[in-house]
Amino acid sequence: MKTRRSLRIAIIGAGSVGNTLGRLSLENGGKVVCVVSRTERSAHAAGRFLRCRTVSTDLHAIPRTADVLLIATPHSAVEEVARALAQIEEYDYSGVAVCHTSGMLTAEALDPLARRGGTVFSFHPLQTFPRDFPPRAIVPTAKGITYGVDGSSAGLRAARRLARVLQGRVLEIPVERRALYHATCVVASNHLTALISVVESLHKLLGTKEEDFYRVFKPIVMATLRNIERTSAARALSGPVARGGVETVARHFEAVARYAPDMIPYFVQMSKETVRLAEAKGSISAAQREAMAALLHAYENPTTQVPQ
Ligand SMILES: NC(=O)c1ccc[n+]([C@@H]2O[C@H](COP(=O)([O-])OP(=O)(O)OC[C@H]3O[C@@H](n4cnc5c(N)ncnc54)[C@H](OP(=O)(O)O)[C@@H]3O)[C@@H](O)[C@H]2O)c1
């Protein structure tokens, strides 16, 4: 990466991630020198947000002065963009850092640019950038985050520098485990969202007058996260599984089978994970673990009789 006092970044793909990271660099003394997107509309909107006059739908608009080209297109377009950039013959990529923000792709997706002398790396922001939220609302949540990266040693150096500018840090991901890394991110955000929506669905079945499920459950959700942060998942675990309360768990299964039978597979799987955690915590005996396993097995295999 060329060394300058303030980093000059070209954003390719003016969606949630491009706008947010562009804005973050701006707020930290960087400069967005160009925005290229698929449509004029998103390119111009990003130009206004990122205080950048050079906006285009054409990659040829990228100025030679850019230190970093940040490709934040959907991951299906990253390789096509990399090939198109590599075909711009008059562009000298030596000393230019080029990265993409896909969680699934590695730096290999940028090979055509590495062959043209570019310093390439993957640079996946480990944060959620929901499309229904304006970038302005997402920016504060992108401060201090981790970026999942891979690349050559020069690529990794460039990644670290870019992360510093964005007030973040990098996590090197072995290329063969990239999909596993991305699956882990999916559990942390998308599965967490799905889990909270299970709470919402069950709350609707409680027969109370309260309509705002989040108001009711937010304190317990937030306290749980805070407890995990302070200690660990195992130490933060409370409740009937952690106490080895097989009878209580059996009553829960009866209630779920009656009021929300579709949730049984979810309940079985999450109870298995909770039993594993209780074992790690050392809070259940071998006999309690066996009894819990028999109960879960019965609900997993409906032809088996539920143990009494
Ligand atoms: N969303 C997340 O939570 C999240 C988190 C981490 C990483 N990522 C990754 O970051 C990347 C961007 O995600 P996003 O959520 O910001 O997507 P997005 O909101 O859909 O934005 C993608 C942008 O790329 C533009 N685009 C599409 N094809 C293009 C092309 N061929 N050339 C130039 N621009 C093009 C689109 O332009 P138009 O608006 O003009 O159509 C759109 O503005 C993806 O690889 C995604 O996997 C996403």
Distance 133 CA to ligand 1 centre (A): 14
How far is it, in rounded angstroms, from Cα 104 to Cα 263? Answer: 30
pLDDT at position 3 over 80: no
Sort 97 into a burial class: Cβ within 10 Å, 0-12 / 13-18 / 19+.
buried
Structure confidence at residue 5 as a pLDDT band (50, 70, 90): low
Query: Would strands 31-36 and 8-12 be described as parallel, antiparallel, or unpaired?
Result: parallel
Distance 102 CA to ligand 1 centre (A): 9
Atom number of ligand 1 nearest to Cα 128: 3
Q: Whose CA is nearest to atom 1 of ligand 1?
A: 129
Mutate to test the pocket of ligand 1, among 12, 19, 20, 37 (most ligand atoms within 8 A of CB): 37
- Supply the mean pLDDT for the chain: 96
Mutate to test the pocket of ligand 1, among 20, 85, 129 (most ligand atoms within 8 A of CB): 129
Residue 125: strand pairing partners: 147
Note whether 163 and 147 are within 8 A (CB).
yes
Q: Tell me the percentage of the chain whose pLDDT exceeds 70.
A: 98
pLDDT at 303: 78
Exposure pattern of 220-249 as b/e (b: 16+ CB <10 Å)?
eeeeeeeeeeeeeebebbeebbbebbbeeb
pLDDT at 266: 96
Q: What is the mean pLDDT of residues 98-124?
A: 98
pLDDT tens-digit readout, 251-300:
999 999 999 999 999 999 999 999 999 999 999 999 999 999 999 999 99
The one-letter amino acid at 134: P
Atom number of ligand 1 nearest to Cα 189: 3
pLDDT tens-digit readout, 187-202:
999 999 999 999 999 9
Atom number of ligand 1 nearest to Cα 104: 47
Q: Whose CA is nearest to atom 47 of ligand 1?
A: 102
Structure confidence at residue 304 as a pLDDT band (50, 70, 90): confident
Report the helix count and the strand count for the chain, using DSSP H and E. 14, 8
Structure confidence at residue 2 as a pLDDT band (50, 70, 90): low
Mutate to test the pocket of ligand 1, among 17, 36, 105, 110 (most ligand atoms within 8 A of CB): 17
How far is it, in rounded angstroms, from Cα 11 to Cα 33? Answer: 8
Note whether 166 and 24 are within 8 A (CB).
yes
Q: What is the mean pLDDT of residues 62-67?
A: 96
Residues 6+ apart with CB under 8 A from 278: 237, 241, 242, 244, 284, 289
Pocket around ligand 1: residues whose beta carbon is below 6 Å from it? 12-18, 36-39, 42, 72-75, 77, 81, 101-103, 124-125, 128-129, 131
